[in-house]
Structure 1
């Protein structure tokens, strides 16, 4: 009887756990923590699961899945893995041409600058594009100047003019040859996420509600049976026990 009761309780746990849906997988610890923090700030209940060599998986309730996807799309998450220049140009590797070397270098610089912009508290997402003279890398002619364009999504109420000036000054000081007028910054404010608190649960689906009712009735039957075995015989002894 106790084994039956234990099995019923386990079945209840399995049903409740089945409400969660996989949102992201194969994340490193930094990416998983960033996603988890953003979801919790938006009142979306989420769990982080360590799956060993496969990284981390983020789970959310089925009712929150659509809201979570929209939120992560707005915040441009999960973020890219951090780029180190030494990873792109290891000492033992052979670079095919100066043009390829320059393209890879500027691509890495783009990502490094994006990562730096994200450290500003007002910025939630940043995309940086560099325009440069690729042909000048394979010839001796003087290469053209660098042009920078940044697309930035920010949060809270900020002075847009001040934020643009800060971003342009940061990018200007990141290159020796770039002109201030060759830097363009486009701002967009993050939309306000509308989502209910995870404490307010949505109505259970019919099949889940029916399954829980069946398990609940089964648990009641098991408890009544155990009570009868323990106390019923004392109150209503059988004929054999009475004759004895």
Structure 2
């Protein structure tokens, strides 16, 4: 019985240590939110871009899919930011004409309506150009002069387009098509009055990926769960007395009782034996 007591004590001491080990394993694979309030399309593109670069990323939602968040291993935050910046993610948010001219019960002046229309058209064109493969940033600035109908000379409309693109993309070949698209989107605009400035993005030098997180997050979770189960099993067994040797103690107690009864019987036989 007594030789098994150290085993029981060791089991009780090992269980908390195993729990601490499981906690350390779980924390080693912790993820932190890198971006929030994303659409499902944006978060899917970002997850794919990060996985292609070897960054452990996942998506999560807390409002039944209305908005999404991007979660990244906390040891890979820098590399994740570099990978997303190289791909121009997340995409910029643009306003649309429908939202800008949504009726709100207020009467706008003609000047306000004009400014709102110019801004909305610029936003729509910027959104369209940003969807071209290889384009990281697209901005369109439109100038529509307020010409006097009685004036002798009319100031022409103009538009300036700025595009930042990846170096592996041939945006130069698309400049004529871009100018044509902008020209037909703005009233009174001619082809020659549209300027396009295309700038190649600097190559991204990725930082060295840390080696501290050698296991995927799912494998760390499985390992932590196994350690917790092992600790729980040790506690249950020690509490029930399996490791404490209680069955052996019961057997020893039974042997002692049997020996006592046998000794008493022999003593009675000696008293009944006639003396020589």
Q: Give the TM-score, by structure 1 length.
A: 0.70
- Does the alignment pair 1:157 with 2:177? no
Q: After TM superposition, give the deviation of residue 113 of structure 1 in Å.
A: 1.0
- Does the alignment pair 1:130 with 2:142? yes
- Does the alignment pair 1:243 with 2:275? no
- Does the alignment pair 1:101 with 2:113? yes
State the distance in 2 between where 1:218 and 1:86 align: 57
Structure 2 stretches of 5 or more lacking a match? 1-10, 214-222, 258-276
The CA RMSD measured in Å over matched residues stands at: 4.1
State the distance in 2 between where 1:222 and 1:43 align: 37
- Does the alignment pair 1:183 with 2:194? yes
Question: 1:95, 1:101 within 8 Å by CA — same for their partners in 2?
Answer: no
State the distance in 2 between where 1:56 and 1:100 align: 35
State the distance in 1 between where 2:104 and 2:236 align: 74
- Does the alignment pair 1:40 with 2:40? no
Q: After TM superposition, give the deviation of residue 168 of structure 1 in Å.
A: 1.8
1:209 corresponds to = none
State the distance in 2 between where 1:85 and 1:38 align: 31
Taking structure 1 as reference, are residues 42 and 149 closer, same or farther at Cα in structure 2, changes over 3 Å only?
farther
Q: After TM superposition, give the deviation of residue 84 of structure 1 in Å.
A: 3.2
Question: 2:165, 2:201 within 8 Å by CA — same for their partners in 1?
Answer: yes
- Determine which of 169, 190, 202 is the counterpart of 2:211: 202
- Does the alignment pair 1:29 with 2:34? no
Taking structure 1 as reference, are residues 241 and 225 closer, same or farther at Cα in structure 2, changes over 3 Å only?
farther
Q: Secondary structure at the match of 2:248?
A: coil
Structure 1 stretches of 5 or more lacking a match? 205-211
Q: 1:202-221 alignment to 2 at 5 Å?
A: 202-203=211-212, 219=230
- Larger radius of gyration between Structure 1 and Structure 2: 2
Question: 2:86, 2:204 within 8 Å by CA — same for their partners in 1?
Answer: no
- Determine which of 81, 84, 107 is the counterpart of 1:72: 84
State the distance in 1 between where 2:241 and 2:100 align: 73
State the distance in 2 between where 1:221 and 1:116 align: 58
Deviates more, 1:8-17 or 1:20-29: 8-17
Question: 2:135, 2:164 within 8 Å by CA — same for their partners in 1?
Answer: yes
State the distance in 2 between where 1:217 and 1:94 align: 62
State the distance in 1 between where 2:255 and 2:162 align: 90
Question: 1:36, 1:47 within 8 Å by CA — same for their partners in 2?
Answer: yes
Q: After TM superposition, give the deviation of residue 220 of structure 1 in Å.
A: 6.9
Summarize deviations over 1:24-56 as a string: whole Å, max 9, x none: 112232332333333333332211110117722
- Does the alignment pair 1:85 with 2:97? yes
Question: 2:125, 2:140 within 8 Å by CA — same for their partners in 1?
Answer: yes
State the distance in 2 between where 1:32 and 1:155 align: 21
Aligned residues: 226
2:267 corresponds to = none
State the distance in 2 between where 1:95 and 1:70 align: 46
